[in-house]
Amino acid sequence: MKYNWIFNELPTYVEQDNRRFVSQETGNLYISKVETSDVGSYICMIESTVTNRRVLSPPTPLVLRTDGKCRFRAPAKIIRPFKTVPAAKGATVKLECFALGNPVPTITWRRNGRSSFPDKVKVNKTNGVLEVPNFQQRDASSYECIAENSRGKNTVKGQLIFYARPNWIQNLTDSYMPIEENLHWVCKANGEPKPSYRWLKNGEPFLIELLAYVAVGVSDAGMYQCLAENKHGVIYTSAELRVLASAPDFSTSPLKKLTPISVGGEVIIECKPKASPRATISWMKQNEILQENERILILEDGSLRVANVTKRDGGLYTCIAHNSFGSANSTGSLVVKDATIITIPPSDMDVTVGESTILPCQVSHDPSLNLEFSWSFNGQVIDFKRDGDHFEKGSSGDLMIRNIQLKHAGRYVCMVHTTVNRASAGGDLIVRGPPGPPGVVIVEEITESTAELSWSSGIDNHSPISMYTVQARTPFSVGWQALTAVPEVIGGDALRATVINLNPWVEYEFRVVATNSIGIGEPSLPSEKSRTEESFPKMGPANVSGGGGSRSELVISWEPVPEELQNGEGFGYVVAFRPLATTSWMKAAVTSADTSKYVFRNESVAPFSPYEVKVGVYNNKGEGPYSPVITVFSAEEGNPARVPFPSYPSNSPVKDTIESALFALRPKIQYWTDDESEETADKFRSDGNNTSAKVPGLKGSTLYNIIVKAYSSAGTGPASAPINITTKKPPPSQAPGKIWWESASSRVVLNWEHVKAMENESEVTGYKVLYRKNRQSSTQVIETNNTSVELTLPDDEDYIIEVKTFSDGGDGISSAQIRIPRMSCTFL
């Protein structure tokens, strides 16, 4: 039930506060101090929490008395006291406490004399109700309600008492006992207060608390009940006791007809007949009573154990079971086989990465038994389907490992199984390979051109490290590049080195690569980025030239210095020039590092006059070198005359670049095919004062129409007479493949497969072998008509080698780069 009071009419309910309280135990409405606003009609509403049905009482008026004396002050008086309250386990317990008085009393609660409560305890906003959810044994205690105002204090005390119905901790289960066996039945329950126990057998009282039988008989069979009870309830548990009595029987558990075992092994022949009471067991072999000894033993459950089996132990064995109701027997045969023995076990081996090897596993065994081989690697059974790329099991049990890698190092165990025994043997495989990555690279000190580095050694993979190579990467490099170090050859026992020839004011990352007799290992992780110190520029601009422009102009151009060679901040150019045959230089500063041209304008500059020109560099650290002095002409005036062009036979074959004799200052070549027009012709210009030009990018086996015009800053002259030229077939599009090499000392023999040209390609007339030192950019070239070449390479440095074809149509594409390490070894 739930109680509410309606004030005057719905939906106005009496709002509970510290002055007004509705008891959920009695339903009464209590008002601590009546005020004028309380005057009115009150209706009690009872609501069912199950059906939600509501019942209303008749109205009760509340009026103020006019004939009495007003009590202005009154001490607190508790009108809902409580004493001893029993509470069930898990229930929600509510204690009510409300007081009358003027002024309105305040309500506080205490537990065992303390004002603190567990977190789960709730006190409503009026403090008139204390709620303890999920009541447990530890919540049982004394509780106090204190009501207090300025006129006085009133205290009531009460007790919450815990109680619980019995609850089973251990109940009964049906039991099927052989006759003469012992029975011990226990039922156990908890509750508050502690429960007592009673037993019933077949519905009749059985005056014991603990049911225990010694040697149960047939008369003890029946249905048993255990009752646990206290004043709050009673619970039951039931179980049936069946007493089994029968002679030994092997029908469901006969001896195994055939039990195989190997010589030297141990076998247990089970004998487990059904019998009640338990049967006495004896054994016979070949119709003779079997006597126990140090090898032959009858176990407690009747089974027979034979240890260190010999051939003579083979034969028929009979288990005889006997009890008071009869006897029975069962017979089986013990067959003794030769033991399986691993005669050639896997042995410890050392191999190199990339090699293949066979781990032997040869056995001797009884020919009547089937063998089953398996292999494990570091304790895990090898799955030959999943790992067939590397592992293969031979028909005789051997294990083949192909293309061995570092991850294949470890313990290999051969395991052989038969129906009578198993054997195993193992060996360790040591794999020698290139070194692992060195440890963290640390930049100890860095200058404008050097860096002192240190690192820790990595795993040598069973082959001592012979040397280290330091590599670097910058924002301007393509990948990692080898560096020159001091010492030049970093020995395998060294863990620091100084690299030289670094560019100033460049951010570097360094890494270290270890090498041993097997090969080059994985690189270390990159070091933290470090920037070299600034320095004055050490390289002037390249390809200084000039010419052209407008009247009274001297145009000077150059190739800007790359950022990695500017050596510091504040980089710029110094342009110096003077009329030919004079001594005084005029200079101009160009502050932009990306600028590639300077124009000097002055009316005193005569047309097409020669000037000596040089371009220098500078940065915040100082000035750098100048470029070599060259001669540049000032701008011209007027249009060039017609350009004579040499005549060629129509359709005469030439390379897919065209070399033409020209006699003008700067030629402009236009070319087009028969499928194109002169208006859409491609153009090629030569900036120098040349008499010939090479036009790249033409198609092979194609007829071109060509004209040449002379041009200068003043304009373009008339065209030459057109000629027709047919380019030759293009070079082969296939690079030389399957390249392999052999080395001995400083001699290297390089071999490759012959390249066969396609029908639309020029026939191969020979091969070019390009080689250079790993740390240098200058390349040497050897031409040969064969598919092999012998090179003499000093063994103080690694070499990079490429091979490509050449033909009438030009050079073909290069093979992939091959790195020849400085040590002497052979790779296929």
Q: Which residue segments constitute the domains of the chain, with CATH numbers given? A: 2-162 (2.60.40.10), 171-244 (2.60.40.10), 250-337 (2.60.40.10), 353-369+384-427 (no CATH), 450-500+510-527 (2.60.40.10), 542-633 (2.60.40.10), 652-727 (2.60.40.10), 740-827 (2.60.40.10)
Handedness of CA 63, 68, 69, 74 (dihedral sign): negative
* Per-residue pLDDT band at 658 (split at 50, 70, 90): very low
CA–CA gap between residue 338 and residue 258 (Å, rounded):
16
Specify the pLDDT at position 656.
44
Tens-place pLDDT, residues 201-220: 898 888 665 567 677 888 88
* Per-residue pLDDT band at 620 (split at 50, 70, 90): very high
288-289: strand order across its sheet: 258-262, 326-337, 315-323, 280-285, 288-289
Determine contact, residues 672/681, Cβ cutoff 8 Å. yes
pLDDT averaged over the chain? 87
More confident residue, 667 or 547: 547
Specify the pLDDT at position 69.
59
- The lowest-confidence range among 8-12, 333-337, 473-477 is 8-12
Q: Tell me the percentage of the chain whose pLDDT exceeds 90.
A: 47
Determine contact, residues 492/514, Cβ cutoff 8 Å. yes
CA–CA gap between residue 508 and residue 474 (Å, rounded):
5
- The lowest-confidence range among 273-277, 510-514, 756-760 is 756-760
CA–CA gap between residue 817 and residue 736 (Å, rounded):
11
Tens-place pLDDT, residues 774-797: 767 678 899 999 988 988 877 667
Q: Give 25's contacts (C-beta < 8 A, 6+ positions apart).
A: 80, 96
pTM of the model: 0.50
Specify the pLDDT at position 125.
67
3-state secondary structure of 332: strand
What Å distances lie between residue 287 and 165, 302, 319, 403, 672, CA to CA?
A: 66, 18, 11, 62, 114
Alpha-helix residue ranges (DSSP H) falling in 363-506: none
CA–CA gap between residue 346 and residue 424 (Å, rounded):
10
* Per-residue pLDDT band at 193 (split at 50, 70, 90): confident
Tens-place pLDDT, residues 718-766: 778 888 888 888 888 888 988 887 776 677 888 988 989 888 888 999 9
Specify the pLDDT at position 659.
42
Specify the pLDDT at position 647.
37
3-state secondary structure of 138: helix
Strand ranges (E), 634-763 = 652-654, 658-659, 667-673, 682-685, 694-695, 703-712, 715-719, 723-727, 740-744, 747-751
- In the predicted model, is pLDDT for residue 459 greater than 80? yes
Closest C-alpha to 722, from 665, 660, 647, 796: 647
Closest C-alpha to 533, from 503, 563, 501, 510: 503
Closest C-alpha to 404, from 362, 450, 350, 457: 350
Q: How far apart are the first and last CA of the chain?
A: 96
CA–CA gap between residue 208 and residue 198 (Å, rounded):
7
Report the amino acid identity of residue 350.
D
- In the predicted model, is pLDDT for residue 9 greater than 50? yes
CA–CA gap between residue 83 and residue 709 (Å, rounded):
125
Closest C-alpha to 710, from 699, 719, 723, 700: 719
Q: How many CB atoms lie within 10 A of CB 680?
A: 8
Tens-place pLDDT, residues 480-497: 999 999 989 999 999 999
Tens-place pLDDT, residues 217-272: 888 899 999 999 988 889 999 999 999 889 999 999 999 999 999 999 999 999 99
Strand ranges (E), 488-549 = 490-491, 496-499, 507-516, 520-523, 530-531, 542-546
The backbone region for 526, taken as left when phi is positive above 0, alpha when psi lies in -120 to 50, beta otherwise, is beta
What Å distances lie between residue 650 and 18, 724, 762, CA to CA?
A: 121, 5, 21
Determine contact, residues 275/248, Cβ cutoff 8 Å. yes
Q: Which residue has the tokens 């099927």?
A: 176
Determine contact, residues 434/519, Cβ cutoff 8 Å. yes
The backbone region for 389, taken as left when phi is positive above 0, alpha when psi lies in -120 to 50, beta otherwise, is alpha
Q: Give 795's contacts (C-beta < 8 A, 6+ positions apart).
A: 745, 746, 822, 823, 824
Q: Which residue has the tokens 């039931």?
A: 238
Tens-place pLDDT, residues 367-415: 888 889 999 999 999 999 998 889 998 878 899 999 999 999 999 999 9
- In the predicted model, is pLDDT for residue 71 greater than 80? no
- Pairing relation of β-strands 326-337 and 258-262? parallel
CA–CA gap between residue 147 and residue 105 (Å, rounded):
6
Neighbour-count burial of 216, counting CB atoms closer than 10 A to its CB (0-12 exposed, 13-18 middle, 19+ buried): buried
Q: Tell me the percentage of the chain whose pLDDT exceeds 70.
A: 91
Q: Which residues pair with 224 in a beta bridge?
A: 201, 239
* Per-residue pLDDT band at 428 (split at 50, 70, 90): very high
Specify the pLDDT at position 819.
75
User: Average pLDDT of 152-169?
Assistant: 88
CA–CA gap between residue 188 and residue 166 (Å, rounded):
10
Neighbour-count burial of 310, counting CB atoms closer than 10 A to its CB (0-12 exposed, 13-18 middle, 19+ buried): exposed
CA Rg value for the chain: 55
CA–CA gap between residue 260 and residue 361 (Å, rounded):
24
Q: Give 225's contacts (C-beta < 8 A, 6+ positions apart).
A: 199, 200, 201, 203, 236, 237, 238
3-state secondary structure of 754: coil
Report the amino acid identity of residue 747.
R
CA–CA gap between residue 811 and residue 801 (Å, rounded):
16
CA–CA gap between residue 825 and residue 392 (Å, rounded):
30
Determine contact, residues 171/187, Cβ cutoff 8 Å. yes
Specify the pLDDT at position 231.
86
Specify the pLDDT at position 775.
64
3-state secondary structure of 678: helix
Determine contact, residues 19/104, Cβ cutoff 8 Å. yes
3-state secondary structure of 564: helix
Handedness of CA 545, 551, 553, 557 (dihedral sign): negative
Neighbour-count burial of 490, counting CB atoms closer than 10 A to its CB (0-12 exposed, 13-18 middle, 19+ buried): buried
Closest C-alpha to 273, from 318, 330, 217, 324: 330
